[in-house]
Amino acid sequence: MVSLSDVRRWEPDALEKVFAALGKHKDRLVGLDDELEGSARPEGWRGQAADAAAQSHAGLTRVMRELVVEVAGVRRAVAETTDEVEAIRRLLRESDDLAEGHGFEITAEGGVRDVAPPDDVPEDQVEQVKQERIRIRDQIVENIRTVLQRANRADDELAKVLADADRNLMDPGRGGSLADDAATGDSRGLAATIDAPRNGTPEENAKWWKSLSPEEQEALRKAPPAWLGNRDGIPAQVRDVANRNRIDDEREALNAEKAEIERGGVSDDERKRLEEVTHKIESIGAVEKTLERQPSRQLLVLDSSGERLKAAVAVGDVDTADHVSVFTPGLNSTVNGTLEGLDHQMNQLRAQSQHESDRHGEGGQVAAISWIGYETPQDHEHAPWHENSVTRSDAAENGGAKLNEFFKGINASRDTDPHLTALGHSYGSTTTGYALQGGGHGVDDAIVFGSPGVGTDDVEDLHVPEGHTYRIEARNDPVADFGRFGGDPTHMEGVQDLSAKESTEPDGRQKLSESTGHNGYVADDSTSQHNMAAVVAGLPDRTVRGEGRGVGDYISWAPSKIRDLF
């Protein structure tokens, strides 16, 4: 913790000297670029000696690249810290002058004492003078608070950069030369000294990002700190890089936790914890496999807190797409168990939506997100009365609050709002319902399918434009008749019915198959998939309408009897 006495002893000139010395070292290292390249294995040289020389050269190159990034990164961080130290000391001098000019004293601990109150104040001005001195005292107190807050932040930021350099945590990236590595290090050093609002809302995060200079934004794009990865309101491309950069660190931490549990044997109490950590490690692997797919993916959430690892993966560019969909799954969905399959389904839906947009719309680009950003209920894992049981709404309400922020962040991060569609299946539709009830989300269309309820029986509670909330119910899907959470959406006035039955496209060109049961809604070439794609593409006139009603919708006593089971 930096004290006021520490700040008074700070010497910006000393930092300037460090900055100059690091600049000379950086230039000297970058100047070795040609020599390093020229020392590579000559063309045509073969044999064990050649292989050994090549291996040695590769090791030297790696060390040189890391050293250049570290020197450049520390140098830039020192420069930014020097500017901040000068600004902090300037504010401290102004506070000292203000205190001295009005008879106050700033103590070594940062307190403010009234040491020379004015004498002989006219009686009719006593209260006015008193209030003015209180105002000045409060201003000095606030200045000192700001000085200490900024000083501690600057100290922490520079210490973090120095620690990363000392522990060889500065990745050179994919630069082709030492000069490229120096530029990477420069960005890393600048990025590490940029602070974001603490616990900012999506709107506050977006406002902060847009207030940065182009240079600062570019530095954060190249070398985003880890905390940017899960910040709603930050551009998707930045979140993607930040979260990808965290993958190795997350795996290392989880493996270390697993080794700690296994050391000395696993007790019954630790067995569940070990299982959770193991599943999280498996989830990291599933995320990596998903990110390797083409077209390129964006990793928008990577959260290892709680019982299971949470993630959200987009196919397409969320920052530029005209149409963005967010799919929330339900019961038994996990990153390690279902992310790859969900991502495949969303890629197929995105492709179909793009087809609709290109052929029947304005050709706007489409992005689709698989969002497993909450603790989804797991079958047989919790008793019915447990808060994470599928029979209760707790997990959906908690997840809905996070999903609401995620929706807001997509819109806030962009200069122009995309056409945003919320998709929710099964318990995920309940989570989506609670997210929409939070309001302010900017969702333009919502589709729930196989839904046991959306947490309300009034469509206006969802805050979606009138006529743009849809439901799909397939034949032989009992979950869609549960009406467990707020009633059966089938009977909600204002919800539009989309078909899941066998049909043809509205223009009659393609035959569409029927979806049956609880898990077939996004099957390729199905009517339900076509309907989702049309809505996602902003083409509701291209949907196939039609009610889907199960036995529970026709037997008046069935919903209450089913609810009794829970």
Q: Tell me the pTM.
A: 0.76
Domain contains 210: no
Tokens 């000083």, located at residue:
151
Task: Mark whether 304 and 365 lie in a shared domain.
Answer: yes
Distance from C-alpha of 242 to C-alpha of 224, rounded to nearest angstrom: 5
3-state secondary structure of 497: strand
- What CATH number does residue 522 fall under? 3.40.50.1820
Task: Mark whether 437 and 374 lie in a shared domain.
Answer: yes
Query: Cα–Cα distances in Å, from 538 out to 127, 321, 323, 353?
Result: 65, 13, 8, 9
CA angle 545, 550, 556 (to 5 degrees): 120
Task: Mark whether 128 and 245 lie in a shared domain.
Answer: no
Task: Mark whether 188 and 242 lie in a shared domain.
Answer: no
Distance from C-alpha of 114 to C-alpha of 91, rounded to nearest angstrom: 20
Write down the pLDDT at residue 550: 59
Task: Mark whether 161 and 270 lie in a shared domain.
Answer: no
Domain contains 224: no
* Structure token pair of residue 248: 């190795």
Distance from C-alpha of 451 to C-alpha of 425, rounded to nearest angstrom: 6
Distance from C-alpha of 557 to C-alpha of 273, rounded to nearest angstrom: 43
Question: Where among 158, 193, 228 does a domain terminate?
Answer: 193
Write down the pLDDT at residue 200: 87
Q: Print pLDDT tens along the chain (566 aa).
A: 899 999 999 999 999 999 999 999 889 888 887 787 778 778 888 888 888 888 888 888 888 888 988 898 899 889 989 999 999 999 999 999 999 999 999 998 899 999 999 888 898 988 999 999 999 999 999 999 999 989 998 898 888 889 888 887 777 766 678 888 888 788 878 887 777 676 789 999 999 999 988 888 988 888 888 889 999 999 999 999 999 989 998 999 999 989 988 887 777 778 888 999 999 999 999 999 999 999 999 999 999 999 999 999 999 999 999 999 999 999 999 999 999 999 999 999 999 999 999 999 999 999 999 999 999 999 866 656 566 678 889 999 999 999 999 999 999 999 999 999 999 999 999 999 999 999 999 999 999 999 999 999 999 999 999 999 999 999 999 999 888 899 889 889 999 999 999 999 988 889 999 999 999 999 999 999 999 999 999 999 999 999 876 555 544 334 444 433 33
pLDDT in tens, 514-564: 999 999 999 999 999 999 999 999 999 999 999 876 555 544 334 444 433
Write down the pLDDT at residue 64: 86
Q: Which of 304, 311, 312, 453 is nearest to 393 (CA)?
A: 453
Task: Mark whether 279 and 151 lie in a shared domain.
Answer: no
Tokens 């969802």, located at residue:
462
Domain contains 219: no
Domain contains 372: yes
Instruction: Write the CB contacts of 504 (distance below 8 Å, at least 6 apart in sequence).
Output: 510, 511, 512
Specify whether the CB–CB gap between 427 and 399 falls below 8 A.
Answer: no
Range of the domain at 114: 4-193
Task: Mark whether 189 and 242 lie in a shared domain.
Answer: no
Q: What is residue 107's DSSP assignment?
A: -
Distance from C-alpha of 34 to C-alpha of 41, rounded to nearest angstrom: 14
Distance from C-alpha of 305 to C-alpha of 238, rounded to nearest angstrom: 21
Domain contains 434: yes
Task: Mark whether 162 and 247 lie in a shared domain.
Answer: no
Chain Cα centroid distance, residue 190: 21
Distance from C-alpha of 74 to C-alpha of 158, rounded to nearest angstrom: 8
Q: What crossing angle do the helices spanning 126-166 and 178-192 adopt, rounded to 10°?
A: 150
Specify whether the CB–CB gap between 372 and 390 falls below 8 A.
Answer: no
Sequential DSSP letters for 507-562? TS-SEEBPPBSSS-TT-TTBHHHHHHHHHHTT-GGGS-B-----HHHHSTTHHHHH
Query: Cα–Cα distances in Å, from 124 out to 67, 127, 130, 173?
Result: 70, 8, 11, 71
Write down the pLDDT at residue 385: 58
Specify whether the CB–CB gap between 368 and 316 falls below 8 A.
Answer: yes
Task: Mark whether 251 and 179 lie in a shared domain.
Answer: no
Domain contains 228: no
AA letter at 223: A
Specify whether the CB–CB gap between 241 and 221 falls below 8 A.
Answer: yes
Task: Mark whether 399 and 320 lie in a shared domain.
Answer: yes
* Structure token pair of residue 353: 């939506």
Q: Which of 30, 18, 139 is nearest to 80 (CA)?
A: 18
Q: Catalogue the E-assigned strands of 426-486.
A: 445-449, 469-472
Q: Rg of the Cα trace of the chain? A: 30
What's the domain count of the chain? 2
Count of beta carbons in the 10 Å neighbourhood of residue 482: 23
3-state secondary structure of 329: coil
Element holding 314 (H helix, E strand): strand 310-315
Question: Where among 193, 221, 254 does a domain terminate?
Answer: 193
Task: Mark whether 164 and 285 lie in a shared domain.
Answer: no
Domain contains 404: yes
Task: Mark whether 370 and 435 lie in a shared domain.
Answer: yes
Domain contains 201: no
Query: Cα–Cα distances in Å, from 490 out to 116, 233, 372, 459?
Result: 76, 34, 26, 11
